[in-house]
Structure 1
Amino acid sequence: MAIQEISEDEWLNMVRIGNGKDAILFSSPFCGTCKVAERMLEVVEASNVPITMYKININYAPKLREAWKISSIPCLVLLQNGEPIRFEYAMRSVNYLYDIMIK
C-alpha cells in the first residue's frame, strides 16, 4: 500500500468538509531518511488508522513550506480540517507514529 502523492496545488484546492483528519509527509526523493519515514507510515496506514495520508515533494511546495515554516525533512504534518495541529520531524518508531495518529 502506498501513501497518496499529491502536488501542493492539489492540496490547496481540496475541499474539506466536516472534521476530517489528514497527515502530509513532506519529503524529497533524494532523502534516505524520508524513504524510511515513508515506509514506517505505510505500516501505520496498513493498520487502518482513521486518517488520510498524503506525501508532497518539499522541493515543489514553496507556499506550504513557508506558511507552515517547515524547517527540515522528513516532516509529518498532522492536520484537522486542513489546519496543521502537529509537526513531527523525528519518526521515532511505527508505534510512536501510530499513537500520534489515533489521538
Structure 2
Amino acid sequence: MKRVNSREILINKIETDATLWVFLYAPMCGTCEIARSFITMVEKVKEIEFVCEMDLNLAKDQAREWEIESVPCLVEFSHGEIQQKLYAFESVSTVFEFINHQKLVKKGDQ
C-alpha cells in the first residue's frame, strides 16, 4: 500500500485517477492492522500496489462528506465518486472478492 499523509494529495489523486482504492484506518485500531494485512496479501496476489492508505484523523472532513461509518474502511473511487465501501474484513477472500470486479494491471503489463 502507498501511504498518503496529506489530505490535499489524497483529494487530488481521487479527482485525477480513473479508479482509486483508499484504505482508511486509525493508528491504534487492532482490527485496522488485520485489515491492512488482508489488503497487503491481495496486493501480492494481484502483483500490484493499488491501494492508498490514510489515517482517518488526517481527513476528518472528508470522512463526514464520504459518510465513513467506521474504520477500517476500504473505499473504491471511480472518477472522483465513491463506488463502494467495505467495512467487514472477515478474511482475505472477502477483500479479494470485494476488489475483484475491478480489472487491475499487473506490474510489467503497464
Range of TM-score over shorter length: 0.7 to 0.9
1:31 corresponds to: 29
Output the TM-score relative to the length of structure 2: 0.80
Give me the whole-angstrom Cα distance separating, in 1, the residues matched to 2:46 and 2:70. Answer: 28
Query: Aligned letter for 2:31?
Result: T
Instruction: Note the residue ranges of structure 2 that are not aligned, 5 or more in a row.
Output: 102-110
> What is the distance in 1 between the residues matched to 2:81 and 2:45?
24
| CA-CA distance at 1:40 after TM superposition | 0.5
Q: Secondary structure, in 3 states, of the residue corresponding to 2:54? A: strand
* Aligned match of 1:52: 50
Paired residue total: 99
Where does residue 107 of structure 2 map in the other structure?
none
The letter for the 2-side match of 1:13 is: N
Q: Is 1:22–1:51's contact at 8 Å kept on the other side of the alignment? A: no
- The residue that corresponds to 2:84 in the other structure is 86
What secondary structure sits across from 2:16 in the alignment?
A: coil
Structure 1 segments unaligned to the other structure (5+ residues) = none
The alignment yields a C-alpha RMSD, in angstroms, of 1.8
- TM-score when normalising by structure 1: 0.85
Give deviations 1:24-82, integer Å, cap 9, x for gaps.
11101110000000010000011126772011101110221011011111011112223
CA distance in 1, matches of 2:34, 2:82: 23
Aligned partner of 2:16 in structure 1 is: 16
Query: If each structure's helix is expressed as a fraction of its own residues, which one has the higher value?
Result: 2
For residue 71 of structure 2, give the secondary structure of its aligned residue in structure 1.
coil
